[in-house]
Structure 1
Amino acid sequence: MYQLPEEHEELRAAVRALAEKEIAPYAAEVDEQERYPVEAAQALTAAGFNAVHIPEAYSGQGADAVAACIVIEEVARVDASASLIPAVNKLGTQPILLSASEELKKQVLPSIATGEASASYALSEREAGSDTASMRTRAQLDGDHWVLNGTKCWITNAGESSWYTVMAVTDPNAEKKARGISAFVVHADDPGFSVGPKEKKLGIKGSPTREIYFENCTIPENRIIGEPGTGLKTALATLDHTRPTIGAQALGIAQGALDAAVEYVKDRKQFGQAISQFQGVQFMLADMAMKIEAARHMVYASAAATERGDARATFLASAAKTYASDVAMEVTTDAVQLFGGAGYTRDFPVERMMRDAKITQIYEGTNQIQRMVMARQLLKG
């Protein structure tokens, strides 16, 4: 039958219960104080939801891609910042899972699975965002060590994470720039590594975003992921797996906003009746719910496609991320409208959700880039 297996629905119920009890009560405070959601991190780790995608061979839960999306969705429903804990753990470790040596997997993954450590992903630079092949960070082999120099920006959870998956140029003279880039794993304690101050952001304020710096940063030779020159290929393959998780985050934000709006319009009275009785309000709610349901199916379908190695995975990942994030922006904006003046205040969660939704249209590839990816997949036939 066309439905999620029982274990996925049981997982949803478990994560929702935890999120409402352990994460939601702190969401407004986390946003207001712009602080890392330590309560969420502790609760997710205690329950084993901090990195469910890591295989059992590396002390993880071994959950499939759809399950990982459900975890992120349900956490994002109450706090988008907290949902970046499982989401970025997947983003930071996916290149390792795809291309690293067994030795490197065993060195890094168990600590993330148990919550002892967390991971971040370092691809973007100030002058190399969508144009990733133009990055300037360099890595040179010096005996039995790699030496990295450069700066990465927009690094989610930088300063909180222990491990960083980093893309750097190892062959600046490569015939194609993309083939001169390699992937590495850097630890926060490695000499020459440091983090910058937190960015001042519109939303997801509980998740720190910082630059990270490499100043003759020295790491062991075996911390390269895959063969030299394969880093960008690994990075792009990673995004096929992680763009659905951004769709899941957007989906959760939208669902949280709809839930809040439904509750509010049933309680708010004007002209002698609840505003939920007005047809205009009902039409808005119907459209919001319809778009969320469509986004949910796209997100799950794209996650399942990456799990089974479907040839359409790249197209589906971009489509799910784009549609779900556009829906999140529309739904949260409509939710603020349904709350009226109250929605524009910080006394209710929908203004935070509206601010948080915006980033889902930007990171892991802007929605304009996603449309280019989709078009190229279609034209390739």
Structure 2
Amino acid sequence: MLKRVREFVRAELLSKGEYFDGLPEQPTAESARLHAAGLANWWIPAAYGGAGASLADSVDIVSELAYGDAGFAFGSFLPVLGTVMLQLHGDEEVARPVLERLVRDGGRLGILGSEEDAGSELNRTATTFRRDGDDLVLDGEKYFSTNSDPADTLLVLARSADDDGDYAVVAVPRATPGVEIVKRWDMLGVRGSGTYRVRLRDCRVPAAGRLRGNGLRLLEIGLNASRILIAATAIGVARRIRDLSMEYAAKKRIKGAPLRENAVFAAKLGQMEMTIDVMRNQCRAAAAEFDRFLAAENPAAALYRVGTLRSALAAKLYCGQAGWEVATTGSEMFGGLGYTHDHPIGKLVRDLRYVSIVEGGDDVMRELLYARYVVPAGKRR
């Protein structure tokens, strides 16, 4: 599969940086071609008709896609956050049709968690659901939600209108009356994906669409997978920066000699290569841990007990920081050209920055690591 992904990247992504940076309409033609190549939603298990790739293998797949375009990669892998929740905690009559459609049609899944006031404090979500007979009725507004407009299904985090402590993740068909796309955000980076502000007004769906368990815990479980793959994006972008630096150094001359023969340049590129290798090892180790949970006798119960994995938090935090160091070094290497829109390095710097921002910024990752894994067990929350 990885060979086919590399071929796809060469054919469909590498030469289209300006196009993907132009906020293309979603879904893109390239997304349809990813599906035609049998590569879309590659991680969905074979039980639903998917290729069933492991999360560890997905690290390298995402790295390759991000080498071509980080935004395209982000939009392509982000449904994993929702498919994990559906697979483990959705009733069969709800989960199976959604997962099989994603395989059959190569579509997207929207996750609606973020809100303007709550930010990363998901326990402060103001979106509510109320029971009305056999239905749930949802009301609220979600701030940043990638893939929501082209998605077939939305998974919405909401709290009970009658019980502030009752959180749910509810499957909402995109075509449900009351679902409104308020705007598409004009993002600074990863512009090859689509991120939206979404309003829910009297959205009525079957109560069976509620996933089993506390909604906050379910998001923690799914975020393990998506955070690891967000971290893997940094690997692909860093590799592209390394290769562009080598191409530049082959032509650029310093004091009469090629830049690539310069000892300072060699040291910088050697440091880049070490960083890229450590990033990949961290991501694959975190992904392998998640895969072991999925292979457990009762993966839903096993992951529900642990919630947020330390390795997933560490992978995202480390790769965001280490990748940013690579991006900074790379952009400086190009001098003034590295601070323009006339060279791909500028786009790569903007793309890489998202790793430390989305699905919990670096300070959120640090706080979670502290609260869940540093504070003595009896005092953790």
TM surpasses 0.5:
yes
Q: Deviations over 1:74-105 (max 9, x none)?
A: 10011011102332121232211221111111
Mapped contact 2:74–2:230 kept (Cα < 8 A): no
Residue 164 of structure 1 aligns to a residue whose secondary structure is strand
What are the superposed Cα offsets for residues 193-235 of structure 1, whole Å, 9 maximum, x if unpaired?
11121112211112121111111011112111114xx111111
- The one-letter code sitting in structure 1 at the alignment partner of 2:208 is N
Identity over aligned residues, as a percent? 27
Matched, 1:282 2:272: no
- Among 185, 190, 193, the alignment partner of 2:176 is 190
The aligned counterpart of 1:351 is 346
Would the aligned equivalents of 1:291 and 1:327 in 2 still touch at CA under 8 Å?
yes
Query: What is the deviation of 1:334?
Result: 1.3
Q: How many residues align?
A: 365
In structure 2, what is the Cα distance between the partners aligned to 1:64 and 1:364?
21
Check the 8 A contact 2:27/2:150 in 1, yes or no: no
Among 215, 222, 226, the residue aligned to 2:212: 226
TM-score by length of 1: 0.91
Query: In structure 2, what is the Cα distance between the partners aligned to 1:265 and 1:225?
Result: 53
The structure 1 residue matched to 2:156, chosen from 166, 181, 186, is 166
Q: Which residue of 1 aligns with 2:299?
A: none
Aligned to 2:102: 112
Query: Which residue does the alignment assign to 1:217?
Result: 203
Matched, 1:370 2:365: yes
Distance 1:33 1:97, change over 3 A: closer
- Residue matched to 1:201: 187
Whether the 8 Å contact between 1:195 and 1:210 is mirrored in structure 2 is yes
**Superposed CA RMSD:** 1.8
Partner of 1:271: 255
Aligned to 2:148, what secondary structure does the other structure show?
coil
Deviation (angstroms), 1:294: 0.4
Give the TM-score normalised by structure 2. Answer: 0.91
| Contact kept? 2:85, 2:218, Cα under 8 Å | yes
Tell me by how many angstroms 1:48 deviates. 2.2
Which runs of structure 2 are paired with 1:35-46 in the superposition (5 Å)?
35-36=25-26, 38-46=28-36
- Tell me the equivalent position of 2:298: none
SS of residue paired to 2:309: helix
Aligned to 2:309: 314
Assess if the C-alpha contact under 8 Å between 1:72 and 1:87 holds in 2.
yes
Deviations 1:20-77 (A, max 9, x none): 1111222222203554471320221112222111111111111111122222111001
- Distance in 1, Cα, partners of 2:200 & 2:27: 27
Q: Secondary structure at the match of 1:77?
A: helix
Structure 2: stretches of 5+ with no match in the other structure: 294-302
Residues 236 and 33 of structure 1, relative CA distance in 2, 3 Å threshold = closer
SS at match of 1:225: coil
In the alignment, is residue 93 of structure 1 matched against residue 83 of structure 2?
yes
The DSSP-based 3-state class of the residue aligned with 1:196 is strand
Name structure 1 gaps, 5 residues minimum: 1-10
Structure 1 CA distance for aligned equivalents of residues 307 and 89 of structure 2: 21
